[in-house]
Amino acid sequence: MSEAVSLTYRVVPGGVLSGSLRVPGDKSISHRAVMLAALANGISEVYGFLTGEDCLCTMQAFQQMGVRIDREGDTTLRVHGVGLHGLSAPPAPLDLGNSGTSMRLMSGLLAAQRFPSVLTGDASLSRRPMGRVIDPLSRMGARIDAEAGGRAPLRVSPVAGLKGIHYTSPVASAQVKSSLLLAGLYAEGETVVSEPGASRDHTERMLRAFGVEVSSETGRAALQGGQTLQATRIDVPADISSAAFFLVGAAISPGSDVLLTGVGLNPTRDGIVRVLRAMGARIDILDPRTAGGEPVADLRVRGSVLRGIAVDPALVAATIDEFPALFVAAACARGETVVTGAEELRVKESDRIATMCTGLRALGISAIPQPDGARILGGRLQGGVVDAHGDHRVAMSFAMAALRAEQPITILDCANVNTSFPGFARLAADAGLRLVERSGA
């Protein structure tokens, strides 16, 4: 839907960010909350659910499979779990919009059902690689047919039963790991996923909250099939990936002082804080606590002078969705920032190495794409027109760049900001960003 309406941001330079802000709920955790609550026995309550389009796609998909989900207020859900075997055949293809998480995680879950299903998505999702889940799921006995190159739509056919496997993934991917763990709930025996680095572990944490035994250590997660889930309460923290735009915006604009409240600080997700601090950002972690099995804190960030760094490749997985914002920080830093080991950026909602480097160059910055990252030399950001290519995080990152630009920045194709951050333009404007939205051609 968001592809049909074009949305442009025009952001006027200058200004600072200030105030106490609460960004919306974590996208990864919101998806998982709906999925696991749907499969549980009993009614689960989800507080702080992200009502972005991606998570609404997940919610609608489960409603199409007979799960009753009551929305109370904007961000509270009551999910009437149907148990592991209680889903019903969807009457139509499940449209997962722009959401890679929905498609990859649900492939694993649907591969184990007794009914067929079809998973579709928008143009971006239909370009993204699904072979990374189809291959291991097929080894478990699943039958999933895809378009050429392992692309959506995916046609999932019922099979007699799945078998647990020991799978070593070539990429550190929470979506691959989670897809296999969800299939593994239905499989005979043990499902073990090993990966080259630590991907985000929200699935493991939340499965435990629903009463499932999961063993995990860095780069490995395992569970036995046949375990049932018991309804629970999930408190979704504010999304660090959404907070990241404000962390960067405040860090690059001297005089800014922002408090981001209730932000999820899971150690598999907090790379942006570590990398920005290594660049000289002033970020204080206040009132660290635990909510819903996840570490949470308030983050105070103040404007400062940043310096370019070589980003530690060991931090890439924990920073993966924040590189668009980080590229903007790099453009505002003194000296060069070098990103390596981040080839996964090429298969996100857009090729983020290409979209960010092209956009930064349009604004007068030297940004040289590399196969697995980029070299960005901090400098003077001129104004200009950049194309977000429908990528939500690219759009929001360039919006923050205007805080340090010399002329206005116009950002094309921003409608998909609603996939992860409904209300971004309003919250950013309230915080001090001089942003105006224009819909239409």
Residues in contact with ligand S3P by the rule CB under 6 A:
28, 101, 173-175, 178, 199-200, 320-321, 344
Q: Which of 95, 201, 321, 387 is catalytic?
A: 321
Nearer to ligand S3P, 204 or 321 (CB): 321
Asked if 297 and 261 touch (Cβ cutoff 8 Å), the reply is no
Give the relative orientation of helices 240-252 and 271-278 as an angle to the nearest 10 degrees. 10
In 90-150, DSSP assigns E strands to 94-95, 117-120, 143-147
Nearer to ligand S3P, 107 or 253 (CB): 107
Nearer to ligand S3P, 200 or 375 (CB): 200
Q: Which of 265, 261, 287, 289 is nearest to 277 (CA)?
A: 265
Asked if 17 and 258 touch (Cβ cutoff 8 Å), the reply is yes
CB under 8 Å to 217, separation ≥6 — which residues? Answer: none
Question: Whole-number minimum distance, CB 180 to ligand S3P, in Å?
Answer: 12
Asked if 23 and 75 touch (Cβ cutoff 8 Å), the reply is no
Q: Compute the chain's Rg from CA coordinates.
A: 21
In 208-332, DSSP assigns E strands to 214-217, 220-224, 233-235, 257-264, 282-291, 294-302
Question: Whole-number minimum distance, CB 334 to ligand S3P, in Å?
Answer: 29
Nearer to ligand S3P, 204 or 298 (CB): 204
Nearer to ligand S3P, 349 or 387 (CB): 349
Question: Whole-number minimum distance, CB 29 to ligand S3P, in Å?
Answer: 8
Question: Whole-number minimum distance, CB 344 to ligand S3P, in Å?
Answer: 5
Question: Whole-number minimum distance, CB 420 to ligand S3P, in Å?
Answer: 8
Active site residue 321: yes
Give the relative orientation of helices 240-252 and 424-431 as an angle to the nearest 10 degrees. 30
- Would you name the residues annotated as active-site residues? 321
